Amino acid sequence: MMCAVQSQTTLESKLEALQCHFTWDLDPSKSMLLRRRATLEDIGTEEGNSWLGHIYNLRGFVQYKLGFTEDAQSFFNKAAEAFSKIRNADEGPWLVVNYGNLAWLHHHLGDQAESQAYLSKVDALMNKYPSPYQDQLHAEIYAEKAWTLMKFSREQKKRAAGYFQRAIRMQPDMVEWNTSYVLGLAGYVKHNDKKVEADLLEKMRMAKEQDPENMYLAALYLNQCTQKGERIEEEARELARKVLKNPVSSYSGIRPLLKVYSYYVSIDEAIDLAEEALKTHPDERYLKRCAALCYKWKIIYVRDSRPKPSVIDRAISLHKEVIALYPDSFLIKKIAFANIYAQLNYGQAEAEQIYQELLEMDLEPADKQMLYNNYAKHLFLHCRDYQRSIQYHMKVAAIPQQSSFRWYSITTLKKIRDRGRSHMCREIEEFLENLQEP
């Protein structure tokens, strides 16, 4: 009996020492897992995607966390096959994370013999392909850890950048690693700092030269160029012709390009581009999502003209479709839908009804923060109900969980307090003094 307990303890300690998704502190809420699943599904799995093995590994982990163990094993097996094709080899250090995932999966399934078999495979790979740098992981492991953190959480992008840097220093010839490193930087660097923006622009320019076929990077580069006041209309239109030839994927470049079009070319041309892509691929939900975004931008942000009824009808019908096609991330999309109605003279009742339906739902704390924050803004901007707006900002701040929504609501409350014009200033002051920090 004692030997069995010791054996189990030894196995668990070995599992804890592995580098894989199960040991990287990825412990999200169910709602985040569902959103990540939808995001990963939209990336696409076309041949030639250099991150295909990593995509399948992460999809397998997400499915495991959601309770779909058979799907998890299937995705982990697909990851191994994808790595074999991409690396053109049956084995290598890129399988360390994959085998670690499988060791953990079989452990949780109660198959300790199979778990031990994968642990042995990990040991064999580590011995055959050691890291060239003492006390550091292999570059392949750093790269996958970086990619995973970058995809899993916005808050983790800074850590991801550090891991990418380590991997690139060890293997500078891996173009896709450098591209993803730069894409990650673009996602977390603070703007309005000329030195930071210039440094990022130069990094993006160099990455673009190394990876000229990456249309997503090209679109982000164009967006960054506009920060310097450059005219990019012709470059954007040329890039659009290339993007439309790409397989449909959230990394085809279509979404960042539509953003460039909307802000710096023409919102109507952005809509035309989205509709053209959708005409070619009418059943692709990601393209419907992109088109819906363009119509939302047209209605919410373009103030110089009242949208035509046909534009409004198209926006509403697309958003209804998108909500149905993305059941795992309906909250964000229903909030967007409510915001569209709120912009219309006749849509206030519909917007309020959507919000009330969402407010009655049993949501996780992070989702409540997002909903309360958006509803507080809605009450302020569209209803001129300043007291209830303040009350909902308080509801956001009262949830002891760090997020951009909580930060925004606390900042808003402090501004209202400091201006001293609201009859709720004393109540806000007391609330902020007693606020529980997460």
Average pLDDT value for residue range 385-398: 96
The domains of the chain are located at 2-130, 190-325, 326-438
Confidence bin at 8 (pLDDT 50/70/90) = low
Average pLDDT, rounded, for the chain: 91
Q: Is the pLDDT of residue 48 over 70?
A: no
Residue 140: predicted pLDDT: 96
Fold entry, domain 190-325: 1.25.40
Residue 29: predicted pLDDT: 85
Give me the helices (H) in 95-251, please. Answer: 96-108, 112-128, 139-152, 157-170, 175-188, 194-210, 215-226, 233-243
Stronger pLDDT, 28 or 22, i.e. the higher one: 22
Range of lowest pLDDT (26-35, 91-100, 205-214): 26-35
- 59: three-class secondary structure by DSSP: helix
The share of the chain scoring above pLDDT 90, in percent, equals 76
Residue 228: predicted pLDDT: 79
Tokens 């999502």 locate to: 289
Burial class (CB in 10 A: 0-12, 13-18, 19+), 47: exposed
Model pTM? 0.90
Burial class (CB in 10 A: 0-12, 13-18, 19+), 429: middle
Q: Is the pLDDT of residue 356 over 50?
A: yes
**pLDDT tens digits for 142-168?**
999 999 999 887 778 888 999 999 999
Residue pair 370/330 in contact (Cβ under 8 Å)? The answer is no
Q: What is residue 73's DSSP assignment?
A: H
Residue 190: predicted pLDDT: 56
Average pLDDT value for residue range 180-197: 74
**pLDDT tens digits for 406-419?**
999 999 999 999 99
Task: Tell me if domain 2-130 and domain 326-438 are identical in fold.
Answer: yes
Residue 2: predicted pLDDT: 40
Q: Is the pLDDT of residue 308 over 70?
A: yes
Measured between alpha carbons, how far is 378 from 355 in angstroms, rounded to an integer?
A: 9
Q: How many CB atoms lie within 10 A of CB 3?
A: 7
Residue 194: predicted pLDDT: 62
Measured between alpha carbons, how far is 148 from 20 in angstroms, rounded to an integer?
A: 10
The CATH number of the structural domain formed by 326-438 is: 1.25.40.10
SS3 per residue for 289-304:
HHHHHHHHHHHHHCCC
Residue pair 329/360 in contact (Cβ under 8 Å)? The answer is no
The CATH number of the structural domain formed by 2-130 is: 1.25.40.10
**pLDDT tens digits for 362-375?**
999 999 999 999 99
Q: Is the pLDDT of residue 347 over 50?
A: yes
Q: Is the pLDDT of residue 227 over 90?
A: no
Average pLDDT value for residue range 216-227: 91
Average pLDDT value for residue range 327-340: 91
